[in-house]
Each structure stands twice: as C-alpha cells, then as structure tokens.
C-alpha cells in the first residue's frame, strides 16, 4: 500500500499568526510517499532519499525514544504513537519505504508530510481507519514530542488539505468560492536558498520590533481582501504586498527579494513563505507569461517546483 501526502505553503500571515492573527495555509501537490508492506517479525524503515535503513524487533517499537534516532525520528514517533493510540500490539511486522520530493527545513512541512503519511499507512495496514480529526491530532502530538514545541499549521493543513485559516493554533477549513478560486491557480514554489536562521530565532527577532503589531494589522487587512477577490491579478498583488510587509519585519534576504521581484514582474505576484531568513518563495503564475517567468528564474541558482492546491 502506498500513501501519498501533500506539503503546504503559507499564503498569508506567517509571523502574524504567532500573535493571534490569522494565517492562510494551502496544501500543495509537492508530495512525500510512504509505502508499507508486510514483513515477518521485524520493522524495517528505509529512507530512500537519504539511503538510510533501520531494523527493529517488534517488541522494541512501543518503548522506543524516537528523538535518539536522527532522521528516523518523525517516522518512528508516528509509528509508536499510532500503535499506542489504536492499542495495537504488533504481531506482524512491516517494512516502510519513505520518499519525498519536498525540500527540507524551509517551511513546506516536509516532516509533517512524512508524519501524517506514516500515521495513515500504519493505521490502514492494521485495517483501522482513522478520521481526519484523529490523524491531525496524532500528527500534532508527534511534532510536539519530537520538536518539543509545535504549531498545528503543518499537520492540520496536510491532513485536511485544501485551504485552512489558522488562528490561536486552531485550524478552520475554508471552502466555497475562495477554495474554487485557488483550485484554478497555478503556482511555482521556488527553493531559493538554505535558511540561515532557525524559525525560533526569527520569531524572537520579530518579537523585538516595536512596530510589529502595525504590520500584522496590515497583513490582516490583506487577508480580508484576499478572501474576497476573484481575479488572479488582484490576488497576486496582495501576495506581493504581504511580502513588502514581511521585508519590514527584516525576515527576507536579498536573494529572496530578487526572486519575489521576478515573480511579481513576470507572474501575478510573489512572496516568501514560512519563517524567512532564506527558504522558499511562492509565485502565482500568469499562464500567458509562464515561459518568460521560467526563463528569468532559470538565471538564478534555484530549484523550481510547479504546484497546485490539493483537496
């Protein structure tokens, strides 16, 4: 059995969301896959992209300390918590093969994608179907256990898919015209550069800015407008406007700004997505000018992924 799981971008409201304002997140079709198959008496995990393998005895999994297992930690914690939640004592073993197209540590939720994929794969392997609410909750506990601290943004958006509003660490699905509008949008997610600072560091730096609240209020007004627009041109302009405000929070970089400029000039609009300090830019594509956009982007040393919303 193979489970394919999306990643996510923040369309509006990163950093503001830390202070009780809204953020709008979208699940995208840049995916990870978790394959699970039966194996007698063992649990084997293969991280295909990293060429790493781990073998465990069946009786080891439920008492394991995932944090001691490096790159395997999210997957192991997801297996352990799912088995505990479903009250399963594993009698049959399994092999899990994980592959991912999602760039890591750049705000796209690569670890949440693997976590949610593993929870689904393990529960389905034991023929115990979980509801989305249960999967999202389990995913959140895994991220919290592994990272010490977590936001529901990644695990919820990746579980429920489509578009979510996140406020005070609570997710709310947005359906209707706004979801339909975004279904017809084409995006490029551009991995621009490795992030130079961790999320916590950037959040702490933003916390020191006296004028931050004025910026968050402006971002909230952008979200009000974005939820009502029906033109890609307008939507793109709002993305670029959100980026201008993020720049004033000092979380952008010269290379991110260059890519955003290209995205705004040759697409409908662009902004950094996530905590900043490097990482990714999201561009709303103008289908009539996509060739020019790609030509300009290809002059930069970056990785480009064509994406759309998944629901």
Active site residues: 154
**CB 203 → ligand MEV: shortest distance, Å?**
6
Q: Is residue 251 classed exposed, middle or buried when 0-12, 13-18 and 19+ CB atoms within 10 A define those classes? A: buried
Residue with Cβ nearer ligand MEV (24 or 310)? 24
Which residue, among 149, 146, 187, 213, has the nearest Cα to 280 in the 3D structure? Answer: 187
Output 24 or 309, the one with its CB closest to ligand MEV: 24
CB 281 within 8 A of CB 274: no
- To ligand MEV, the closest distance from the beta carbon of 25 in angstroms equals 9
Q: How far, CA to CA in Å, does 275 sit from each of 10, 109, 199, 301?
A: 10, 12, 6, 21
Q: Which residue number, 124 or 220, has a Cβ lying nearer to ligand MEV?
A: 220
- What's the closest the beta carbon of residue 133 comes to ligand MEV, in angstroms? 21
| 159 phi, psi to nearest 5 deg | -75, -55
3-state class of 44 per DSSP? strand
Q: How far is the CB of 247 from ligand MEV (least distance, A)?
A: 15
Judge whether 161 and 28 are in contact, CB under 8 Å.
no
If the CB atoms of residues 195 and 232 are measured against ligand MEV, the closer one turns out to be 195
* C-alpha Rg value of the chain to the nearest Å: 20
| Residues in touch with ligand MEV (CB under 6 A) | 14-15, 17-18, 107, 151, 153, 199, 203, 274-275
């Amino acid at each position: 059995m193979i489970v394919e799981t999306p990643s996510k971008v923040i369309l509006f409201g990163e950093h503001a969301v830390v202070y009780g304002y809204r953020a709008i997140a979208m699940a995208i079709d840049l995916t990870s896959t978790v394959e699970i198959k039966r194996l007698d008496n063992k649990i084997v995990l293969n991280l295909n992209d990293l060429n790493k393998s781990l073998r465990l005895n069946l009786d080891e999994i439920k008492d394991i300390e995932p944090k001691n297992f490096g790159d395997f930690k999210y997957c192991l914690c997801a297996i352990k918590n799912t088995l505990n939640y479903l009250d399963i004592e594993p009698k049959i073993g399994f092999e899990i093969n994980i592959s991912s197209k999602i760039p890591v540590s750049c705000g796209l939720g690569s670890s949440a994608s693997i976590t949610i994929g593993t929870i689904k794969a393990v529960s389905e392997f034991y023929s115990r179907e979980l509801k989305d609410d249960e999967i999202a909750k389990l995913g959140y506990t895994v991220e919290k256990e592994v990272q010490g601290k977590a936001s529901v943004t990644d695990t919820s958006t990746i579980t429920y898919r489509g578009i979510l509003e996140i406020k005070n660490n609570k997710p709310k699905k947005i359906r209707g015209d706004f979801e339909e509008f975004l279904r017809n949008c084409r995006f490029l997610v551009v991995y621009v550069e490795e992030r130079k600072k961790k999320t916590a560091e950037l959040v702490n730096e933003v916390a020191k800015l006296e004028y931050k609240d004025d910026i968050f209020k402006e971002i909230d007004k952008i979200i009000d407008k974005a939820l009502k627009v029906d033109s890609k041109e307008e939507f793109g302009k709002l993305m670029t406007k959100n980026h201008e405000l993020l720049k004033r929070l000092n979380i952008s970089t010269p290379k991110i700004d260059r890519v955003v400029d290209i995205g705004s000039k040759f697409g409908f609009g662009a902004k950094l997505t996530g905590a900043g300090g490097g990482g990714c830019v999201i561009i709303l594509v103008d289908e009539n000018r996509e060739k020019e956009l790609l030509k300009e982007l290809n002059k930069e040393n970056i990785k480009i992924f064509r994406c759309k919303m998944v629901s």
